[in-house]
Structure 1
Amino acid sequence: MQENAGLKRIFNVKIMAKVGLLGAISFILMYLEVPLWFTPEFYKMDFSEVSVLIGAFALGPIPGVAIEFIKIVLHLILKGTTTAGVGDFANFFIGCAYIVPAALIYRGHKTMKGALMGMVIGTVCMTIFGSLLNAFVLLPVYATAFGMPLDQIVEMGTAINPAIDNLGTFVLFMVVPFNLLKCVLDSIFTVLLYKKVSGILHK
């Protein structure tokens, strides 16, 4: 009994170490930002969800959420915030909307088909949830933080795409494509890297 308890403690410590490492890697990847041609400059692509998703696939959905949380907390501590943490934790929930469904489906079907199905469902969930959170939380918070009316943010979108004339069309033509592209790229990199990285995580 004592031997089993000791092994369980060691296993948990190993899981915690892996979660911490992947959280730190994910935080570093947040700095590798890529501007996009169809969004204002404050929307930038990063690939921090790749390490989160790999961790969620290899270790489970709860460790995946922990990795996402560590990434956000490190970002808050080391880079600071202009939105009193609201924007950061909104992004935490958006990230979870992608990785949790994907990890849950993969846990029940540990095949390439299961992984792909999970990432597709995760993409749909993140796109819907992320769009709603942008419309009702993130964009109003950013407008307040930067001391500008929300209409001015919409106008930044209009300057890029004339079809944008209100908050709804801003979300439809900017936020939705942004989330879709991000999830697709994160999924591709996860598929390419997972076998190599998961082998290390499972040792």
Structure 2
Amino acid sequence: MSTNVATQNKSNTAGMSKVRFITQVGMLGAIAVILMAFEIPLPFAPAFYKIDFSEVPALIGCFAMGPAAGAMIELIKIVLHLLISGTSTAGVGDIANFAIGCAFILPAAWIYKAKHSRKSAMIGMAAGTVFMAFIGCFLNAYVLLPAYAKAFSMPIDALVGMGTAVNGHITNLLTFVVFAVAPFNLLKGAMVSAVVLLIYKKISPILKMR
């Protein structure tokens, strides 16, 4: 009898933990979509490149509950954003946001998971920022900008021209990536990392409660 009770208690605990996990992921995803609405334009990049802090909840979720939680938060954020606001980029910007966001948070989470310390978190976020910048440059040059141009029936040169209008160093696709995309992602990674470092220690005990 005692064995059955112990098994039942273990099953109930696991069930409650699963519900708590789903609830926390959903909550952080909802916070992320709210933060996504507050965008900061940048003087060195075209108007469609704006920084937001929606990766903050995703990165906190990664650190507290693991990489899978962070990816789910990113996905929930994008789905909610599409349902609430629709898309002004034919879905290209939304796919980019998800892919590049994951490129940032997942390396950070994997490094932090290996050793839970402030130093490890900082190394993880630095690595994630660099990886995000690299992936962002690659995807923008070879996938996202061409897809965006095709979706709106405009030449790549027109997008480059939008960059040239705000940044004289941008003269072609390569310089667009180097002087707009890379700085954008590096700055975003640094800003999100700084916020997470400031608030994670205060929030994490709540998320880790069982």
Q: Same fold (TM over 0.5)?
A: yes
SS at match of 1:47: coil
Change (3 A) 1:90 1:102: same
Runs of 4+ in 1 over 6 A off after TM superposition: none
Normalised to the residue count of structure 2, the TM-score between the two structures is 0.93
Instruction: Write the distance in 2 (CA, Å) between the matches of 1:39 and 1:82.
Output: 18
Q: Which amino acid aligns with 1:94?
A: I
1:18 matched to 2:24: yes
1:201 paired residue number: 207
1:163 paired residue number: 169
1:177 matched to 2:183: yes
Instruction: Write the distance in 1 (CA, Å) between the matches of 2:88 and 2:107.
Output: 30
Normalised to the residue count of structure 1, the TM-score between the two structures is 0.96
Instruction: Write the distance in 2 (CA, Å) between the matches of 1:164 and 1:33.
Output: 23
2:120 paired residue number: 114
2:12 paired residue number: 6
SS at match of 1:118: helix
* Identity in percent: 56
Q: Which amino acid aligns with 2:76?
A: I
Instruction: Write the distance in 2 (CA, Å) between the matches of 1:163 and 1:176.
Output: 13
Alignment of 1:20-169 (within 5 A): 20-169=26-175
**Unpaired runs of 5+ in structure 1?**
none
For residues 110-155 of structure 1, the C-alpha deviation after alignment (integer angstroms, 9 at most, x for no partner) is 1010000100111111110111111112212222333322101101
Q: Which amino acid aligns with 1:61?
A: P
Instruction: Write the distance in 1 (CA, Å) between the matches of 2:42 and 2:170.
Output: 17
Instruction: Write the distance in 2 (CA, Å) between the matches of 1:143 and 1:154.
Output: 11
Shift of 1:83: 4.5
Q: CA RMSD in A?
A: 1.2
Shift of 1:171: 0.4
- Aligned partners of 1:164 and 1:170 also within 8 Å: yes
Shift of 1:84: 4.4
For residues 151-179 of structure 1, the C-alpha deviation after alignment (integer angstroms, 9 at most, x for no partner) is 01101111222222110110000000000
Which range moved further: 115-124 or 155-164? 155-164
Larger Rg: 2
Instruction: Write the distance in 2 (CA, Å) between the matches of 1:54 and 1:21.
Output: 12
Q: Which amino acid aligns with 1:13?
A: V
- Aligned partners of 2:92 and 2:148 also within 8 Å: no
